[in-house]
Amino acid sequence: MFHADAPHLRILRLLRDEGAVSRAELGDRLELTRPRLLAEVERLVGVGLIAEAGMAASRGGRRSTLVEIHPRLRFAAVDLGASSIDIEVVNGRLEPVATYREAADIRSGPKVILQRVNELLAKARIDGAYERLDGVGIGVPGPVSFRDGVPVSPPIMPGWDRYPVRELLAREHGCPAVVDNDVNIMAIGERHGGVAHSVDDFLFVKIGTGIGCGIHLGGTVYRGIDGCAGDIGHIQVDANGPFCSCGNAGCLEALFSGAALARDALAAARAGESPALAERLAGAEELTARDVAEGAAEGDVTCIRLIREGGRRVGGVLATLVSFANPSMIVIGGGLAQLGHVLLAEIRSVVYRRSLPLATGNLPVVLSELGGRAGVTGAAVLASDMAFEQAS
């Protein structure tokens, strides 16, 4: 058998994902010869990435010693949204040791936002979350050149185009850094610790302020030639539809997204079409997706209709993508996943009706398990992968 990844990477990932393991079991699991394994383990102990962890239970012969990912390791995981900063500092097992979340407008530009990220990380150090970082992973809400570590023509991120995010974070924290699109890190997170655990080929569809799709194929994220693969929010679904922030008309996210739903809910409330929404609008200046979700839960017909229409739009695009990509799972995440089973039922109905029967014979369409934590989880996975790769 021929493995694409170097032995040290496979050892580190296994210890990260499964905890303390004996040398004997490591050798068996990774199909490494004993001398090769012992040499690699010794080297990784030497560079401080793994540590001894006592004796394993006996397997009959001589007892084997356990090794684990070094308990001192720390990674910073950052998920920048259109209007939020989420940070987790995690240990080598990717368990959070500190969590920060605050509102922030991505349009404030990279200097302001990254300074705030660094302040929060400095606070984490003072709070005792880490002494030094071994890797930083960050997701941003726009296309990214993964190779160059910079955002590329991100529509909702003025001032960020080709800004050297990776270089500045790596320099600031003296460790490897990695930058990716926010939906890609959510997909990676969901595969690491969520509903897509160990699924190789799946689509992660984020429906939030905008709409995007993380494409996980053959066990890895597919980013496309310009880093904008999965940018499905601007697929035109209705040539006569409303104008979109991108300048075109009838884009998917102009018809259904957090902003579109708020707009449609407001119109319905004002037109007297929805008692539930009218009641919520009294005393508020605007409506949100949460209002629509609550209205639907109370049985308000207009709220249910708005969600179903949205689900139908998303389902139509996903049916096309299922025929094209033949994935083994679709995960729905992002803020509008809170619309829950009404949304899911409509998406499923359209996908199952309009895609190839062969492609949908066994195709789960499910909600994200990690919810708001999918992004930071994926950023932590990327940060650790990057740090492990550089330990060769």
CB of 285 to a copy of itself, least distance (A): 33
Applying the rule CB under 8 A, the residues between 249 and 278 that interact with a copy of itself are none
Q: Binding residues for a copy of itself, how many (CB under 8 A)?
A: 44
Radius of gyration of the chain (CA): 23
| Comparison of 7 and 295: residue with beta carbon closer to a copy of itself | 7
Interface with a copy of itself, residue 243, by CB under 8 A:
no
Interface with a copy of itself, residue 245, by CB under 8 A:
no
| Comparison of 156 and 325: residue with beta carbon closer to a copy of itself | 325
Interface with a copy of itself, residue 41, by CB under 8 A:
no
Applying the rule CB under 8 A, the residues between 149 and 178 that interact with a copy of itself are 152-153
| Comparison of 152 and 156: residue with beta carbon closer to a copy of itself | 152
- Given a contact cutoff of 8 angstroms between Cβ atoms, the answer to whether 305 and 230 are in contact is no
Interface with a copy of itself, residue 105, by CB under 8 A:
no
CB of 149 to a copy of itself, least distance (A): 17
- Given a contact cutoff of 8 angstroms between Cβ atoms, the answer to whether 131 and 122 are in contact is no
| Comparison of 248 and 349: residue with beta carbon closer to a copy of itself | 248
| Comparison of 316 and 372: residue with beta carbon closer to a copy of itself | 316
Q: Where are the beta strands (DSSP E) in 120-175?
A: 135-140, 144-145, 150-151
Place of tokens 């793994």: 50
Nearest to 136 by CA among 153, 151, 117: 117
User: How many residues are recorded in the chain?
Assistant: 392
Interface with a copy of itself, residue 16, by CB under 8 A:
no
∠ at Cα 109 (105, 114), nearest 5°? 90
Interface with a copy of itself, residue 232, by CB under 8 A:
yes
Q: How many CA atoms lie within 13 A of 88 on its CB side?
A: 23
Binding residue (CB under 8 A) for a copy of itself from 113, 215, 289, 370: 215
Strand partners, 87: 78, 100
Dihedral, 350, 256, 308, 362 alpha carbons, nearest 10? 30
Binding mask 64-103 for a copy of itself (x = CB under 8 A): ----------------------------------------
Cα 24 from chain centre: 34
Binding residue (CB under 8 A) for a copy of itself from 225, 240, 282, 285: 225
Q: H or E segment at 101?
A: strand 96-103
Interface with a copy of itself, residue 235, by CB under 8 A:
yes
Dist. CA 73–CA 54, nearest whole Å: 18
Token pair belonging to 231:
């940018």
CB of 200 to a copy of itself, least distance (A): 8
CB of 6 to a copy of itself, least distance (A): 5
CB of 171 to a copy of itself, least distance (A): 26
Applying the rule CB under 8 A, the residues between 302 and 341 that interact with a copy of itself are 316-317, 319-321, 323-328
∠ at Cα 206 (108, 276), nearest 5°? 90
Dist. CA 229–CA 220, nearest whole Å: 13
Binding residue (CB under 8 A) for a copy of itself from 81, 92, 110, 143: 143
Q: H or E segment at 36?
A: helix 34-46
Q: Please report, as ranges, the residues that interact with a copy of itself according to CB under 8 A.
A: 2, 4-6, 143, 152-153, 201, 213, 215, 217-218, 222-232, 234-236, 248, 316-317, 319-321, 323-328, 354, 356-359, 361
